[in-house]
């Protein structure tokens, strides 16, 4: 086989069955879902599938009026797609790196823009960050996921997890914050000197403070979100 031939390209890039179960990283940026029943994915994340799979956009009242009301305030950031059937489903989100987490009765907060897919066995709820909504482009919201099952989250480039302890809190840029443990409640602090030092817009002076016992996940990228209201 000659180097760089079409046959060589196909061999190097073709899909492989790894036998890892429901969620499989086909590449660091493509998630394969071995679907046998139902899964929730971020709307627009499907890039390919094979088999008998039906796609439905999240119903207006599917998750109750409370979540509908909160979703209306946050824009389309957490719009979900329900995939049902049997087959292989491939999802991705703008080339972002994918991390798979197997929740076992625990909980995690994920930035609404960084949630890629999760099993129906996982309970979830949208949490608005009202105090900071007016300070950042499009506001900021997150999803609390809890229970037992698989979830997939995304980050721009490689994520970094920082441990939080009572005597050593962690401060993060909200636009670079991907996820944090479900027992932590971030506090928003404004540092005027930090803003002056950077010489940037007002959003840069807002920081998230994590205190207690847990962890926070950040990415080496500042993601700016735009809601429908912006």
Coil/strand/helix, residue 173:
coil
Q: What is the mean pLDDT of the chain?
A: 84
Specify if 11 maps to a domain: no
pLDDT at 188: 85
pLDDT at 75: 52
Specify if 226 maps to a domain: no
Specify if 12 maps to a domain: no
The model's pLDDT over 136-169, given as tens digits with 9 standing for 90+, comes to 544 567 889 999 999 999 999 999 999 999 999 9
Number of domains in the chain: 1
Coil/strand/helix, residue 133:
helix
Contact 90, 50 (CB under 8 A): no
Specify if 224 maps to a domain: no
Specify if 120 maps to a domain: yes
The model's pLDDT over 66-85, given as tens digits with 9 standing for 90+, comes to 565 555 454 544 578 999 99
Cβ neighbourhood burial of 87 (10 Å; 0-12, 13-18, 19+) = middle
Q: How is residue 148 written in tokens?
A: 């037992």
Domain of 47: which CATH number?
A: 3.60.160.10
Q: How is residue 190 written in tokens?
A: 């404004």
Specify if 95 maps to a domain: yes
Specify if 2 maps to a domain: no
Domain holding 143, by residue range, is 20-218
∠ CA(133), CA(164), CA(213), 5° rounding?
100
Instruction: Assign 199 a pLDDT band (cuts: 50, 70, 90).
Output: low
């Amino acid at each position: 086989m000659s180097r760089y031939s079409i046959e060589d390209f196909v061999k190097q890039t073709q899909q492989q069955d790894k036998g890892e179960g429901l969620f499989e990283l086909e590449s660091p940026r493509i998630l394969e879902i071995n679907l046998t029943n139902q899964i929730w994915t971020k709307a627009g994340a499907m890039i390919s599938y094979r088999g008998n799979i039906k796609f439905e956009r999240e119903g207006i009242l599917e998750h109750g009026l409370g979540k509908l009301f909160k979703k209306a305030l946050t824009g389309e950031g957490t719009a979900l797609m329900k995939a049902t059937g049997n087959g292989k489903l491939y999802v991705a989100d703008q080339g972002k790196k994918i991390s798979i987490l197997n929740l076992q009765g625990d909980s995690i907060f994920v930035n609404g823009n960084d949630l890629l897919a999760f099993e129906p066995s996982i309970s979830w709820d949208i949490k608005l960050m009202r105090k900071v909504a007016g300070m950042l482009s499009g506001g900021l919201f997150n999803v609390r996921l809890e229970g037992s099952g698989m979830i997939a989250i995304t980050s721009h480039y490689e994520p970094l997890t920082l441990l939080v302890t009572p005597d050593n809190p962690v401060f993060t840029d909200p636009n670079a914050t991907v996820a944090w443990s479900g027992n932590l409640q971030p506090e928003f602090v404004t540092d005027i000197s930090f803003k002056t030092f950077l010489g940037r817009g007002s959003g840069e002076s807002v920081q998230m403070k994590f205190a207690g016992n847990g962890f926070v996940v950040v990415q080496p990228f500042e993601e700016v979100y735009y809601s429908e209201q912006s």
